[in-house]
Amino acid sequence: MTHTTSDAPWPGLISAITLFVEDLQATKRFYCDVFRLPVTYEDDNSAVFRFGDTVINLLRSAAAHELIAPARVAGPASGSRLQLTLPVDDVDAMCKELTARGVTLLNGPVDRPWGIRTASFRDPAGHIWEIAR
């Protein structure tokens, strides 16, 4: 593979992650309420949030087919195939805050054998988010 855009290592930072969602409004509301982030772009099929240098694009599942064809869009009942992790200073305190924001934790806080403390929860579209220290 030839790399011609710059002398920067490839791949570099991930600029965008697109998550397919069945109920765009409910998932958008969850991201606004739980992560306390503003919507940076929105149209009839998507809502975009900025997490540092990475954008998370919530894309209505019905619109995702065109984006990934001929691959198939799986529904949330298929099970989780990814986890997104956010670093926090205090997992226990953030769990209390998330619970106050209406989030139901899937697990944690728990000390993992690899030396970090984590907890995880699910967004309305079924995507798993982990907080970790």
User: Which CATH number do you get for residue 98?
Assistant: 3.10.180.10
Q: What confidence score (pLDDT) does residue 3 get?
A: 45
Would residue 53 count as lying in a domain? yes
Shared domain for 25 and 50, answered yes or no, is yes
To the nearest whole number, what is the mean pLDDT of the chain?
92
Mean pLDDT computed over 62-82? 90
The residue range of the domain holding 48 is: 14-71
Shared domain for 24 and 57, answered yes or no, is yes
Confidence category of residue 11, pLDDT binned at 50, 70, 90: confident
| Cβ 45 vs Cβ 59: under 8 Å | yes
Chain centroid to CA 131: how far? 11
Q: What confidence score (pLDDT) does residue 76 get?
A: 84
Would residue 56 count as lying in a domain? yes
**Boundary (domain end) residue, out of 49, 71, 93:** 71
Spell out where the chain has E strands: 16-21, 41-42, 46-51, 54-60, 83-87, 105-111, 117-122, 128-132
The pLDDT of residue 2 is above 50: no
